[in-house]
Amino acid sequence: MIVSKNYLGGKKMKSIILAELYKLLKRKNFIVLAVLSLWSLIYGFGAFLHWDFVKFGAKLDLVTFTTTMWTFLLILTIPLLLILYTSSSILGGEIQGGQILLEVNRVASKKTLIISKYIVVILSILFLYILNGLSSIISYIFFLSKTEFGYTRFWELHSTNVQSIIISLVNLGFVLLLASIAFYLSLHLSAIVAAFASLGIYFLCQLLSYMAIISKFIPGYFFTVPNYHFTVGLALFHLLTYGLICMLLLGATIRVFEKKSL
């Protein structure tokens, strides 16, 4: 009987996730984000054609270029804000619009609904990360490797590549943390206000990172500090911290939503 309930619950969650993904693909802000994630193609093409505004401080290998493009995209702030708005609107937008009532009536558990929506938040960010990575790889192979900024033997790895990959994954974790904050805040605020509030937390972390004594332990250290000190231990500390905070935020979101009168 328990196995049967778990199976049915799993099928219900899967159907909710698929429905949420379908709605997500129709959102204009997510479509804009997907297009912006392809910006490395324009950047590489610009380097290939020697456009004046495309500048590189040094010669880049494939891994460094790929991981750097994701960071540069988010540093522009607007893409990061759009990610946070997408994350908050998945829950908060539907609460504000009243659609959440229909969804609650179709599921046996509010917890299942929240977890499903949170999984969609994670999947959406992972999709953008992978899309940006693939476009960067294509851009490097077909454009940048044929310029003075890239290597013709693009398949060769360099000593700093492992560090670049680890830092990229840690920074991805930081973005997921900010998205989790926006997701939680959307229970109390409108989707756009929750997104700006989460962006404010990002700026606060950026401000605190200037304090040398505590900067290494501030969330987003590898994202906001240009001359960070890298150790595998410190990277793991940040990654585990982000994961823990995300789980706590998810638990808090579930508790508040279960008590919320819709």
What is the model's pLDDT at position 1? 43
Q: Select the more confidently predicted residue: 191 or 152.
A: 191
Res. 49 pLDDT band, cuts 50 70 90? confident
The values of phi and psi at residue 126, to 5°, are -65, -40
Interval 97-111 mean pLDDT: 77
Q: How far apart are CA 217 and CA 225, in angstroms?
A: 12
Contact between residue 173 and residue 95 where contact means Cβ atoms under 8 Å apart: no
- In percent, the amount of the chain with pLDDT more than 90 equals 58
Q: What is the mean pLDDT of the chain?
A: 88
Lowest mean pLDDT among 5-9, 32-36, 216-220: 5-9
Residue with tokens 């900024």: 149
Element containing residue 73 per DSSP (H, E): helix 62-75
What is the model's pLDDT at position 212? 86
Query: Can you count the helices (H) and strands (E) in the chain?
Result: 12, 0
Q: How far apart are CA 230 and CA 214, in angstroms?
A: 15
Quick one: CA dihedral 223, 226, 229, 232, positive or negative? Answer: positive
Q: How far apart are CA 125 and CA 146, in angstroms?
A: 31
* pLDDT (tens digit per residue) in 209-241: 989 899 999 999 999 998 899 999 999 999 999
Quick one: CA dihedral 151, 155, 160, 166, positive or negative? Answer: positive
* pLDDT (tens digit per residue) in 106-118: 776 889 899 999 9
Q: Select the more confidently predicted residue: 52 or 166.
A: 166
The values of phi and psi at residue 231, to 5°, are -140, 150
pTM (two decimals): 0.90
- Give the DSSP letter of residue 152: S
Domain boundaries, the chain: 9-259
The values of phi and psi at residue 211, to 5°, are -85, 105
In sequence order, what DSSP letters do the residues of 199-238 get, joined into one string? HHHHHHHHHHTT-TTTGGGSTTHHHH-TT----HHHHHHH
* pLDDT (tens digit per residue) in 139-190: 999 999 888 888 888 777 777 899 999 999 999 999 999 999 999 999 999 9
CA angle, residues 35, 85, 217, in degrees to nearest 5: 100
* pLDDT (tens digit per residue) in 115-131: 999 999 999 999 999 99
What is the model's pLDDT at position 10? 63
What is the model's pLDDT at position 157? 77
Whether the pLDDT of residue 23 is over 70: the answer is: yes
CA atoms within 13 A on the CB side of 256: 14
Contact between residue 173 and residue 238 where contact means Cβ atoms under 8 Å apart: yes
